[in-house]
């Protein structure tokens, strides 16, 4: 939470009258649901039975048929994963799930991002071919891997693509493709993460194997694939996909399994390292505490460490790997802090980019930046500038790689596609979705790209303005500041991208304020006119000392449950504050 130089606008989300809907709920929770356009109680159904069938995904019949045959024929299967948390969890779900279904020869390969880049490249296929697989199964990648799929087919290897990224104008010539974003696909969610797609594939394969009598032949029960939902929830939250109804079901079910002590050893070890109590887990904990540690492996070294952590059933081995991931995450944070300081210094120089302050999309590049951390850097700068940011770092061979993070209203992958169409050959590679994308340029083409992007954005985004706004769900009554109500709000989720955690606004008297760790603030606040007190905390505050001595503040905040020394209490998590 970073207070800007000028005040933000606090805007309360509009709420329709509801027409009597949800009249049995707490009035604040009812207001929250209506503001998020929940149309009926069915939209709040979080049961697995409410999920649409796998057959709703186009290409699923071919995919399930080929994989079921491969399992029954004891074929060699090689999962090729992406190097982020979604890719790692999708890989673990694929390997674990196929083994549960009876496959005996399942292995995985994850590209080192610094050597091979993203996706199923011909170079990765050459390495994969050494293992002599009958099928390569891509998870969280592959939809843009035209050359890699062709190379695999030429080598006599079948390719099964599971992905969720937006396809280009041409699809790879794979044996089967399942992706909810394929043209004409009728699946009701376009927001499934890569791990969600793979989970759906396994459900369909299980049905095929059951129909073929496979489980009876093997004298085994059809596996309960719900045992994989902790991994599905982790990957879904980590990839910051929209939590539409289907994703809310998957995340809720996964969180419930973790709370019930039914998580895999690696997930429990990562939670332990992050000092999170599994029994009190929230979806946000997966995103803020577990995912960064898992992602650190792919950002700095090799995601194989993260995948192995998710695949092991040995609790001690999982703890050891989680400790190594935690150390990598600390190193990543140190690198990030240095890069962020350098980026802010660039922006202060005034000539860091011609007219950057007026550009809808901002580009930043430094020769010393780390390729594995530019995505986080872009996200941090985006939060400061309230506009899309693309951060670039060198990647060798006279190339630079960029990682883009966007804001609501600007589809960053489509914008890059428009640049590629207007300037053929400028982008060596690109891909992604609405809120995040990646690209590769020749180093010498960086100034050309910056100018090309500015021109395309000026045409496509006429009239767009950065919005420095905090959206809230209004004010709370004095009687709502209760631990029990904070717990009710947590249970009303899961909250996340596209289904934001409830945020409220109000004015408070400051009875105490102190600085923690040189960048955070802790408050004792009083509700005016009531005499009631509540604790508050604001993280990552610029110049926190400026708030010492402040007597009254206006806050945008979330109700939170603070756990300390086995005690639970109410606290406010401050998203924004201004003197009042």
Task: Say yes or no: 22 and 56 in one domain.
Answer: no
List the Cα angle 380/381/385 in 5-degree steps.
125
Question: Is 3 a member of any domain?
Answer: no
Q: Where are the beta strands (DSSP E) in 339-463?
A: 362-365, 389-396, 399-405, 429-432, 436-442
pLDDT for the residue numbered 474: 97
Question: Is the pTM here over 0.85, yes or no?
Answer: yes
Task: Say yes or no: 90 and 216 in one domain.
Answer: yes
Q: Which of 409, 432, 460 is the last residue of a domain?
A: 460
**Helix 265-273 vs helix 315-348: angle between axes, to the nearest 10 degrees?**
50
Question: Is 86 a member of any domain?
Answer: yes
Question: Is 4 a member of any domain?
Answer: no
Q: How far apart are CA 514 and CA 548, in angstroms?
A: 7
Question: Is 413 a member of any domain?
Answer: yes
Q: Where are the beta strands (DSSP E) in 110-263?
A: 135-139, 158-162, 176-178
Task: Say yes or no: 320 and 371 in one domain.
Answer: no
Determine the 3-state secondary structure of 325 from DSSP: helix
In terms of C-beta density within 10 A (0-12 exposed, 13-18 middle, 19 or more buried), how is residue 341 classed? exposed
pLDDT for the residue numbered 358: 63
Determine the 3-state secondary structure of 508 from DSSP: strand
pLDDT for the residue numbered 386: 86
Cα→Cα distances 101→79, 175, 429, Å: 15, 21, 36
Question: Is 487 a member of any domain?
Answer: yes
Domain containing 216 equals 48-325
Q: Give the domain CATH number at 192.
A: 3.90.1640.30
Q: How far apart are CA 561 and CA 490, in angstroms?
A: 9
Task: Say yes or no: 404 and 551 in one domain.
Answer: no
Task: Say yes or no: 37 and 172 in one domain.
Answer: no
Q: In 3D, which of 544, 512, 517 has the Cα closest to residue 2?
A: 544
Q: Which of 425, 460, 495 is the last residue of a domain?
A: 460
Residue with the two structure tokens 């032949």: 217
Question: Is 516 a member of any domain?
Answer: yes
Q: Give the domain CATH number at 531.
A: 2.40.50.460
| Side-by-side strand order, sheet with 399-405 | 362-365, 389-396, 399-405, 436-442, 429-432
pLDDT for the residue numbered 446: 96
| Tokens linked to 266 | 């690696």
pLDDT for the residue numbered 2: 42
Q: Which residues of the chain have pLDDT under 70?
A: 1-6, 349-358
Question: Is 55 a member of any domain?
Answer: yes
pLDDT for the residue numbered 350: 53
Q: Which of 292, 325, 358 is the last residue of a domain?
A: 325
pLDDT for the residue numbered 432: 82
Task: Say yes or no: 206 and 219 in one domain.
Answer: yes
Q: Give the domain CATH number at 374.
A: 3.10.310.30
pLDDT for the residue numbered 352: 47
State percent of the chain over pLDDT 70.
97
pLDDT for the residue numbered 1: 46
Number of domains in the chain: 3
Task: Say yes or no: 211 and 184 in one domain.
Answer: yes
Task: Say yes or no: 57 and 123 in one domain.
Answer: yes
Question: Is 2 a member of any domain?
Answer: no
Task: Say yes or no: 222 and 96 in one domain.
Answer: yes
Within 8 A by CB and 6+ apart from 425, the residues are: none
pLDDT for the residue numbered 307: 97
pLDDT for the residue numbered 542: 80
Task: Say yes or no: 35 and 136 in one domain.
Answer: no
Tens digits of per-residue pLDDT, 217-259? 999 999 999 999 999 999 999 998 999 999 999 999 999 999 9
Task: Say yes or no: 372 and 315 in one domain.
Answer: no
pLDDT for the residue numbered 564: 82
- Say if CB 357 and CB 310 are below 8 A apart: no
Q: For residue 339, which phi and psi values (nearest 5 degrees)?
A: -65, -40
pLDDT for the residue numbered 6: 52
Q: What is the dihedral of CA 131, 136, 138, 144, to 10 degrees?
A: 110
Considering only the C-alpha atoms of the chain, give the largest distance between any 2 of them, rounded to a whole number of Å.
76
Task: Say yes or no: 133 and 100 in one domain.
Answer: yes
Q: How far apart are CA 412 and CA 404, in angstroms?
A: 7
């Amino acid at each position: 939470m970073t207070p800007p130089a000028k005040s933000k606008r606090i805007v309360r989300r509009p709420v329709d009258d509801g027409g009597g809907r949800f009249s049995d709920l707490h009035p604040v929770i009812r207001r929250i649901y209506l503001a998020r356009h929940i149309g009926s109680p069915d939209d709040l159904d979080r049961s697995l039975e409410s999920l649409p069938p796998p057959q709703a995904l186009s290409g699923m019949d071919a995919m399930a048929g080929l994989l079921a045959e491969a399992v029954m024929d004891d074929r060699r299967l090689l999962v090729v994963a992406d190097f982020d948390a979604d890719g790692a969890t999708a890989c673990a779900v694929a390997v674990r799930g196929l083994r549960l279904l009876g496959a005996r020869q399942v292995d995985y390969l994850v590209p080192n991002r610094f050597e091979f880049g993203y996706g199923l490249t011909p170079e990765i296929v050459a390495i994969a071919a050494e293992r002599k697989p009958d099928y390569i199964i891509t998870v969280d990648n592959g939809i843009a891997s035209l050359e890699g799929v062709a190379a695999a087919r030429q080598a006599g290897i079948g390719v099964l693509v599971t992905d969720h990224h937006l396809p280009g104008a041409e699809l790879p010539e794979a044996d089967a493709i399942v992706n909810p974003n394929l043209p004409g696909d009728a699946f009701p969610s376009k927001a499934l993460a890569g791990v969600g797609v793979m989970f759906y594939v396994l459900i369909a394969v299980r049905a095929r194997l059951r129909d073929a009598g496979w489980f009876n032949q093997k004298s085994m029960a059809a596996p309960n694939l719900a045992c994989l939902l902790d991994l599905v929830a982790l990957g879904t939250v980590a990839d910051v996909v929209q939590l539409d109804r289907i994703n809310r079901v998957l995340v809720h079910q996964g969180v419930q399994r973790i709370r019930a002590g039914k998580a895999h050893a690696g997930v429990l070890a990562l939670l332990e390292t992050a000092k999170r109590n599994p029994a009190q887990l929230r979806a946000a904990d997966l995103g803020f505490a577990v995912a960064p540690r898992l992602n650190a492996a792919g950002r700095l070294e090799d995601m194989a460490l993260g995948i192995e952590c998710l695949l092991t059933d040995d609790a001690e081995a999982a703890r050891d790997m989680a400790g190594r991931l935690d150390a990598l995450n600390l190193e990543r944070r140190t690198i990030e802090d240095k890069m962020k300081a350098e980026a802010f210094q660039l922006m202060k120089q005034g000539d860091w980019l011609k007219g950057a302050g007026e550009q809808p999309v901002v580009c930043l590049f430094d020769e010393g930046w780390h390729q594995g951390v530019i995505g986080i850097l872009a996200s941090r700068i985006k939060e400061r500038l309230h506009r899309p940011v693309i951060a670039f770092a060198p990647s060798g061979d006279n190339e630079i790689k960029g990682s883009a993070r966007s804001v609501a209203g600007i589809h960053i992958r489509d914008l890059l596609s428009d640049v590629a169409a207007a300037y053929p050959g400028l982008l060596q590679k690109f891909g992604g979705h609405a809120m995040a994308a990646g690209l590769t340029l020749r180093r010498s083409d960086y100034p050309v790209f910056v100018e090309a992007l500015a021109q395309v954005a000026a045409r496509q985004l006429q009239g767009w303005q950065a919005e420095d706004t905090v959206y809230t769900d209004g004010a709370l009554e004095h009687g709502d500041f209760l631990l029990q109500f904070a717990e009710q709000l947590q249970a009303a989720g899961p909250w996340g991208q596209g289904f934001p955690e409830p945020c409220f606004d109000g004015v408070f008297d400051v009875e105490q304020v102190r600085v923690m760790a040189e960048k955070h603030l802790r408050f004792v606040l009083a509700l005016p006119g009531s005499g009631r007190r509540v604790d508050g905390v604001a993280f990552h505050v610029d110049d926190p000392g400026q708030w010492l001595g402040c007597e009254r503040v206006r806050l945008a905040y979330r109700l939170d449950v603070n756990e300390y020394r086995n005690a639970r209490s109410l606290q406010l998590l401050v998203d924004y504050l201004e003197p009042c």
